[in-house]
Amino acid sequence: MKKKHQPLLRNSGFQALIASLFCILLGLLIGYIVLLFINPNGAWKAITTVVKNFLYYPRPNKQLQYLGDTMVKTAPLLMCSLSILFAYKVGLFNIGAAGQYVMGAGASLYCALAWHMPWYICLLAAIVAGAFWGSLSGLLKAYCNVNEVISCIMLNWIGLYLINILLTTVKEVASPYTLELAGYSPGSMLPNLGLNTLFNNSKYVTIAIPLSILMAVFIWILLSKTKFGFELRATGLNKEAARYCGMKEKYNIIITMAISGALAGMGAALLFLTGFEKWSCTQSSVPAMGFNGIAAGFLGGLHPIGAIFSSYFIQHITNGGAYVDKTMFSAQISDLISAIIIYLCAFVFFLKQFFTGVANHREEKRAGKTNEKMGGEKQ
């Protein structure tokens, strides 16, 4: 098969990589400047701490263990970013990943703590709950033309309070947190298949990590190699053309939102079924995981494989922020730095457009010359 040379600037993989790296550097720089304003003495140390994360610990054992912790939280983030980029490829903005994540958390924890179901049933329950919640937005969009962003935001809140009510039945008496998973339903914990030994016997490292990476590969294959993905992407790129060639646009919207929701719901199960976190039944804001997924999706260039790395990176600096010297900076400073980088991630998209624009401009110049020779043809 012959492959013609394509301008490097136009290669979308290259564009995404450069743009993402640029955003990361710019984000760190701005974060550093903010730190300088607050306390010039500790700024450099703080920013290096954020970037180092688990390397903060001098002993390799500890390093491995905290690398494990970072990866435990990367798995759900990756699932949320897959959820968002999947919908985005079909032209839908699933800001409801957060709510679908909440539904997944509620369903998996309730199955585990109230019914002591085995882990795979809990996982399945989370997937179904997330898919159901996502398909509600899809149905509203397909049949009532309700903008999915609006319905998603509303469903986020409805989901949060529903799950708070549901999980109150399985919470500890003296605290707002749900019961200890390891104590009450050890069979519902995700198995680790010995993976924990790689990370200094970290309690929380389970099959969640490889499972999420497998899902990324699965989504990549689904989108790029199958008939189903062909249809979904065509619908996303040109809804009218998809309709013209007989694709079922409404069905595609609903199924996309359902799959997107299933991914987010599964993400929640991959975190809560490790026992790493417990659900607080009094929380009054939707977990940030779903929203961070938007940033991770964009930083990863909206590519499932890119999302693996971007999700890890975002989780890396979020965890790293926790080690910043609290005597010099307030506790929230870590959130601030990661937020700056996350917000800059949105620029990945603009940078990609910018690169394409440059490539187009060059091509137009060239085409202009050849057109003159050929007499020119109207577009």
Partner 1 sequence: MGETYAVEMLNITKRFPGIVANDDITLRLKKGEIHALLGENGAGKSTLMSVLFGLYQAEEGVIKKDGNVVQIRDPNDANDLGIGMVHQHFKLVDCFTVLDNIILGVEPCKLGFLQKKEAREKVVALSEKYGLFINPDMKIEEITVGMQQRTEILKMLYRDNEILIFDEPTAVLTPQEINELMKIMRNLAAEGKSILFISHKLAEIMAVSDRCTVLRKGKCVGTVNTAETSFEELSAMMVGRSVNFKVDKEDREPGDVILDIRNMTVASKSHKNNAVKNVSIKVRAGEIVCIAGIDGNGQTEFVHGLTGLEPLVSGQIFLNGEDITHDSIRQRSTGGISHIPEDRHKHGLVLDYSLEYNLVLQRYFESQFTNGIGFLRRGEIRKYADKLIEQYDIRSGEGPVTIARSMSGGNQQKAIVAREIDRDPDLLIAVQPTRGLDVGAIEYIHKQIVKQRDAGKGVLLVSLELDEVLDVSDRILVMYEGEIVGQLDAKNATAEELGLYMAGARREEIDQ
- Amino acid 375 reads G
Q: Specify the residue, 100 or 235, whose C-beta has the smaller distance to partner 1.
A: 235
At its nearest, how many Å lie between partner 1 and the CB of residue 131? 19
| The Cα angle at residue 334 between residues 328 and 339, in degrees rounded to 5 | 140
The answer to whether 170 and 113 have CB atoms below 8 angstroms apart is: yes
- Residue 230 CB, nearest approach to partner 1 (Å): 6
Per-residue x/- track, 234-263, partner 1 (CB under 8 A): x--xx-xxxxxxxxx---------------
Q: Which is nearer to partner 1, 284 or 372 (CB)?
A: 372
* Helix/strand/coil for 28: helix
Span 6-25, contacts to partner 1 by CB under 8 A: 6
Q: Kindly report the backbone phi and psi dihedral angles of residue 276, in degrees, each rounded to the nearest multiple of 5, phi listed first.
A: -65, -40
Which residue's CB is nearer to partner 1, number 59 or number 365?
A: 365
Measured from the CB atom, is 369 or 378 closer to partner 1? 378
CB of 370 to partner 1, least distance (A): 10
Exposed (0-12), middle (13-18) or buried (19+): which is 214, by Cβ within 10 Å? Answer: exposed
Identify residue 255 by its one-letter amino acid code.
Answer: I
User: What minimum distance in Å lies between the beta carbon of 240 and partner 1?
Assistant: 5
Quote the Cα angle for 308-311-317, to 5°.
135
Is the separation of the CB atoms in 311 and 74 below 8 Å? yes
| CB of residue 371 to partner 1, shortest distance in Å | 8
Shortest gap between Cβ of 244 and partner 1 (angstroms)?
A: 4
The span from the CA of 13 to the CA of 305, in Å, is 11
Q: Are 293 and 83 contacting, i.e. CB atoms less than 8 angstroms apart?
A: yes
Angle at 373 between CA 371 and CA 377, to 5 degrees: 35
Whichever of 250 and 326 has its CB closer to partner 1, that residue is 250
CB of 347 vs partner 1, minimal distance in Å:
21
> To the nearest whole angstrom, how small is the minimum distance from the Cβ of residue 221 to partner 1?
8
259 vs 342 by CB, closer to partner 1: 259
Quick one: 184 exposed, middle or buried, by C-beta within 10 A (0-12, 13-18, 19+)? middle
Interhelix angle 12-38/347-374, rounded to 10 degrees, is 140
Of 247, 220, 185, 369, nearest in space to 305 by CA: 220
Region 193-232 residues binding partner 1, contact defined as CB under 8 A? 225-228, 230-231
Smallest distance, partner 1 to C-beta of residue 151, A = 24
- Of the two residues 226 and 330, which places its CB atom closer to partner 1 in the complex? 226
User: For partner 1, how many residues bind (rule: CB under 8 A)?
Assistant: 29
Nearest-CA neighbor of 213 among 59, 373, 371, 81? 81
What contacts 25, CB < 8 A, 6 or more positions away? none
CA–CA separation, 374 vs 12, rounded Å? 30
**Nearer to partner 1 (CB atom), residue 182 or residue 241:** 241
172 binds partner 1 (CB under 8 A): no
Identify any residues that bridge with 178 across adjacent strands, giving them in sequence order. 171
Of the pair 174, 377, the CB lying nearest partner 1 is at 377
Site string for partner 1, 346-375 (x = CB under 8 A): -----------------x-----------x
Which of 168, 238 has the CB closer to partner 1? 238
Instruction: In whole angstroms, give the CA distance from residue 77 to residue 296.
Output: 8
- Compute the least distance from the CB of residue 298 to partner 1, in Å: 18
**Residues in contact with partner 1 by the rule CB under 8 A:** 1-2, 4, 6, 225-228, 230-231, 233-234, 237-238, 240-248, 363, 375-379
